[in-house]
């Protein structure tokens, strides 16, 4: 069960990053904000369950907000 949860978090993070990149490319400020929040939420959720998701400094800063 844990492996499935880990995999799902990784997949959701990958998808959220793709959507964030698309929102940035389109100049969609609301979309950027929404996907940054989604990524931060996924990173927090993973940490609460002892799962490490690879993330950059920018995503870590979003997580602290």
Residue range 5-49, pLDDT digits in tens:
989 999 999 999 999 999 999 999 999 999 999 999 998 899 898
Token pair of 28 as six digits? 């969609």
Q: Whole-angstrom distance between the N-terminal and C-terminal Cα of the chain?
A: 30
Kindly tell me if the per-residue pLDDT of 62 is higher than 70.
no
Q: Which residues contact 3 (CB under 8 A, 6 or more apart)?
A: none
């Amino acid at each position: 069960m844990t492996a499935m949860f880990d995999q799902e978090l990784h997949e959701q993070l990958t998808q959220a990053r793709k959507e964030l990149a698309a929102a940035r490319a389109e100049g969609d400020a609301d979309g950027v904000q929404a996907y940054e929040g989604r990524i931060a939420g996924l990173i927090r959720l993973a940490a609460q369950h002892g799962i490490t998701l690879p993330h950059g400094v920018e995503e870590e800063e979003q997580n602290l907000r």
